Structure 1
Amino acid sequence: MLDWLTDPAGWAALLTLTAMEIVLGIDNVVFISVLVARLPEEQAKRARAIGLLLALVFRVLLLSLLTWIIGLTKPVMTVFGLGLSWRDLILLGGGGFLIAKATHEIHAGLEGDHDEAQKGAAPRAFMAAIMQIALVDLVFSIDSIVTAIGMADNLSIMVAAVLLSMIVMYVASGPVSAFIAAHPTTKMLALAFLILIGASLCAEATGFHLPRGYIYVAMAFSACVEAINITAARRRKAARMAQAAKAEKQPVGSEG
């Protein structure tokens, strides 16, 4: 089962699959980062850790049920002439949930009264965050594992790739969450990404395949524009502070 450790082709498959799992995990990291942004720092750390642990458990569990997973891609019902499998229905439900959740968060951010409500019910907010993370983890896990099955036929390679990708996602989730919490405009951008990802999941469930590369290029372009805006805002703030400091010193110099 571990013969691939001495086979260059096995290592190449591991690297390729790990990279793919990390790319597919970007959606998961963004969702978790947005969801824990309203929690206290200590609870946010726990929620991130629990969320990614659940993602790991779901992926490894689903990998052990390969026959069942393959069966999920077989049509179980027909709607308007379109055959839908259990995977399609799960993706459709998960995509709809992402769109609804992101829209709700955008509305709450614009209204500005959502933070106070959550501060009064921190334990309930924490449990709600964990449940929502678990739900979306399941959706992303099924999508990820179905893709993995198509790329590799060795279970140990797939498990190793999942473990490595989860480590990378855990390391990245902290800085991403901190950055989103420190820059409110990036949170709105992340929520817009979640709507885009949810729409792509719904589209894929109905038979319209939208290459993920298009979505990630759009996300990267938007993130670059936002990074330029943040840098420009920092420079304007630094210039204003320097000008204010100079104005405070000026009267002292004139009296001397």
Structure 2
Amino acid sequence: MTLAADPAVWVALGALIAMEVVLGIDNLIFISILTNKLPEHQRSRGRRIGIGLALILRLGLLSTVAFIVQLTAPVFSVFGKAFSWRDIILIAGGLFLVWKATKEIHHKVDPDHGPDMFDGSAAAAVTFGGVIFQILLLDLVFSIDSIITAVGMTEHIPVMVIAVVVAVAVMLLAADPLARFIDKNPTIVMLALGFLLMIGGTLIGEGFGAHIPKGYIYAAMAFSALIEGLNMMSRRASRKQGQ
């Protein structure tokens, strides 16, 4: 009740929810692209599991917030540059994201990518497990970055918990529509993979100590999405004119 009566707490909660939703976009794009590779009947379940894992990880990390804060302490130095566990996790996660996005782009560009990996039920089951594992890895990276940022904005754990739960609920509601939209528009897939490349590069840069304002990143993403939206409207108008 004391927290609820404090206007500063409500301001911090609103800012945290907005930040968590924005940060969740990266995670949601990655989950959508990965689960769209699954058979149709497994996609929605894969997205729900991936987002559920994100919620469990973030709430679990909040319960160990004192340990999470210590991840920013230097553990070793290379050529005078100190690295913390947070830096190491960001660099590893960024490299994985760059590798995965590059692999997916190659898969989209090269139409002759071998036999269908969903021919048998065993292959589909292994693929489902592999997709969930990859989602879990990126959930961990995004969750640690999200919690460390949240700790810098407020010291109240209940505020952090509410912000995380609301953000994940928004992700859950947007997951299926976003995934269907990406699946039906091939050019959107390539644009989303480009976003993942940029996000991966940003994580690597932050791991090496380069401060990259998130506003620039999301402004670039919004501008690119706007241009692609105009291209889609142009193509739709051309098809109608042709008909």
Aligned to 2:5: 6
Aligned to 1:159: 161
* TM-score, normalised relative to structure 1: 0.91
* TM-score, normalised relative to structure 2: 0.95
Residue 40 of structure 1: how far off its partner (Å): 2.2
Aligned to 2:107: 108
CA 1:227–1:115 in structure 2 vs 1: closer, same or farther (change >3 Å)?
Answer: farther
Q: Cα deviations across residues 130-175 of structure 1 (Å, max 9, x unaligned)?
A: 0000000000000000000000111011001000000111111211
Q: Cα deviations across residues 80-133 of structure 1 (Å, max 9, x unaligned)?
A: 221000000000000000000000000011112448432222212111110000
Which segment drifts farther, 30-39 or 85-94?
Answer: 30-39
Work out which of the residue numbers 194, 199, 215 in structure 1 matches 2:196.
Answer: 194
Greater helix content: 1
Work out which of the residue numbers 129, 148, 151 in structure 1 matches 2:150.
Answer: 148
Q: Cα deviations across residues 236-256 of structure 1 (Å, max 9, x unaligned)?
A: 112222xxxxxxxxxxxxxxx
Q: How does 1:63-142 map to 2 (within 5 A)?
A: 63-114=62-113, 116-120=115-119, 121-142=123-144
Distance 1:152 1:114 in 2: 48
SS at match of 1:77: strand
Residue 7 of structure 1: how far off its partner (Å): 2.5
Distance 1:52 1:115 in 2: 30
Q: Cα deviations across residues 28-66 of structure 1 (Å, max 9, x unaligned)?
A: 011111111221232110111011101001101111101
Residue 67 of structure 1: how far off its partner (Å): 1.0
Whether contact under 8 Å (1:14, 1:158) holds in the other structure is yes
For the aligned residue pairs, the C-alpha RMSD in angstroms reads 1.2
Distance 2:124 2:239 in 1: 34
Residue 9 of structure 1: how far off its partner (Å): 2.2
SS at match of 2:75: strand
Residue 196 of structure 1: how far off its partner (Å): 0.4
**Structure 1, unaligned stretches of length 5 or more?**
242-256
SS at match of 1:4: coil
Q: Which amino acid aligns with 1:134?
A: L
Q: Which amino acid aligns with 1:193?
A: F
Distance 1:52 1:102 in 2: 20
Q: Which amino acid aligns with 2:134?
A: Q
Aligned residues: 240
Which segment drifts farther, 57-66 or 4-13?
Answer: 4-13
Whether contact under 8 Å (1:55, 1:141) holds in the other structure is yes
CA 1:115–1:129 in structure 2 vs 1: closer, same or farther (change >3 Å)?
Answer: farther
The share of aligned pairs that are identical, in percent, is 50
Larger Rg: 1
Whether contact under 8 Å (1:38, 1:115) holds in the other structure is no
Aligned to 2:15: 16
SS at match of 1:5: coil
SS at match of 1:198: helix
Aligned to 2:214: 212
